[in-house]
């Protein structure tokens, strides 16, 4: 996708025309620098935009960072039609493909950044609902992820059926000023339909002793349950993914999803350290993220489930569904 060729030169020339001339960089003098051009990061069907150290963005990508959807960047220069050199709000500089930038009018330095939408706990619980404030959904390595942000904490989860156990990928981001106690042992998975019952967690040591890779197989991916999607909503899942109302960063550990595969896709020969990718108890410091996997008992008749993650004094409740496989 990011090659040294520049097929988009003319398609995105309008962007360069829309942006005024780039101002000179600060030179340390007492004279105030002129305003720089600004652009907004747009994400057509993806959760973040790569920023690289090289203008050609040759493979493998030399990543400087990943830009959030909707974030504002200063445009320092362009490279004749394919990428632009940009600077983020925290001072990082790199190159971004022009197809991911939209022109934006100059923003006064005194303008306060927009506050992202957050969910409001009710009796200590926040529930995921499609399109609700603070609730997001996206695809991470092909897995459907539900995300909730509340009280400065973002929790993201996905759920898969391995054919032997349910596998839950859990990520927690602490953007508060306090330490968060992460305890995997109090995270629960409950079956809501067709039966109402708890599905107990399986100890990671037992999972690690299995002689097969079934714990990493994926027979089916859970999707948001119908009860968590407005009945009067005309948006499909694809529409919701393409037009996210509360976009967040992807905090999932890519090693968790890349380690899993559908059975029969290929013969696994490598050894996977299960304990290294399992979610572990820890004290999560401010501005830190943590991600890992949990395994739960499986019911092949289950259609709707509730995954509850306590963090920071509140419970993050996620609703998932599997298609009816009893027919």
Summarize pLDDT for 79-131 with one digit per residue, the tens: 556 788 888 877 788 888 888 888 765 444 444 444 457 899 999 999 999 98
What pLDDT is stored for residue 133 in this prediction?
A: 92
Higher pLDDT pick, 62 / 233: 62
What pLDDT is stored for residue 122 in this prediction?
A: 95
What pLDDT is stored for residue 305 in this prediction?
A: 96
What pLDDT is stored for residue 5 in this prediction?
A: 43
**Confidence grade of residue 159 (pLDDT, cut at 50, 70, 90):** very high
Higher pLDDT pick, 238 / 23: 238
Q: Is the pLDDT of residue 212 over 70?
A: no
Structure tokens at 10: 């003319």
Higher pLDDT pick, 181 / 114: 181
Q: What's the burial of 234, exposed, middle or buried (CB within 10 Å: 0-12/13-18/19+)?
A: exposed
Structure tokens at 220: 């089916």
> For the chain, what percent of residues have pLDDT higher than 90?
36
Domain 13-25+33-104 has CATH 2.30.30.40: yes
**Confidence grade of residue 35 (pLDDT, cut at 50, 70, 90):** very low
> What pTM does this model have?
0.63
Q: CATH 2.30.30.40 region(s) of the chain?
A: 13-25+33-104
Q: Is the pLDDT of residue 261 over 60?
A: no
What pLDDT is stored for residue 255 in this prediction?
A: 60
Structure tokens at 73: 């960047």
Residue linked to tokens 């105030």:
32
Mean pLDDT of 168-185: 95
CB 323 within 8 Å of CB 303: yes
Q: Name every residue whose Cβ is closer than 8 Å to that of residue 282 and which is 6 or more positions away in sequence.
A: 182, 290
CB 153 within 8 Å of CB 173: yes
What pLDDT is stored for residue 97 in this prediction?
A: 86
How much is the mean pLDDT over the chain?
78
What pLDDT is stored for residue 100 in this prediction?
A: 84
Higher pLDDT pick, 120 / 259: 120
């Amino acid at each position: 996708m990011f090659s040294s060729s520049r097929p988009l030169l003319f398609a995105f020339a309008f962007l360069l025309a829309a942006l005024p001339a780039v101002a000179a960089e600060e030179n340390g003098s007492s004279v105030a620098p002129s305003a720089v051009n600004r652009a907004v990061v747009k994400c057509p069907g993806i959760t973040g935009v790569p920023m690289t150290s090289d203008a050609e963005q040759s493979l493998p990508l030399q990543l400087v960072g990943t830009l959030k959807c909707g974030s504002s960047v200063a445009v320092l220069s362009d490279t004749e039609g394919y990428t632009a050199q940009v600077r983020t709000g925290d001072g990082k500089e790199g190159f971004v493909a022009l197809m991911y930038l939209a022109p934006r009018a100059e923003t006064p330095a005194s303008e306060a950044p927009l506050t992202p939408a957050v969910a409001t706990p009710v009796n200590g619980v926040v529930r995921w609902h499609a399109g609700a404030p603070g609730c997001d959904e996206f695809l991470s390595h092909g897995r459907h992820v539900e995300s909730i942000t509340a009280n400065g904490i973002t929790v993201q989860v996905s759920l898969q059926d391995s054919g032997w156990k349910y596998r839950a990928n859990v990520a927690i981001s602490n953007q508060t000023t306090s330490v968060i106690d992460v305890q995997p042992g109090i995270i629960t998975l409950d079956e809501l339909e067709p039966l109402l019952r708890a599905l107990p967690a399986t100890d990671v040591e037992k999972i690690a002793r299995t002689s097969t890779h079934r714990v990493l197989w994926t027979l089916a991916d859970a999707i948001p349950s119908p009860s968590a999607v407005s009945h009067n909503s005309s948006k499909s899942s694809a529409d919701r993914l393409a037009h996210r109302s509360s976009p967040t960063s992807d905090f999932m550990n890519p090693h968790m999803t890349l380690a899993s595969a559908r059975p029969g896709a290929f013969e696994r020969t490598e050894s996977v350290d299960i304990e290294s990718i399992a979610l572990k108890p820890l004290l999560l410091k401010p501005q830190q993220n943590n991600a890992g996997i949990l395994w739960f008992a499986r019911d092949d008749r289950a259609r709707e489930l509730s995954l509850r993650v306590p963090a920071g004094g509140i419970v993050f409740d996620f609703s998932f569904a599997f298609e009816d496989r009893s027919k």
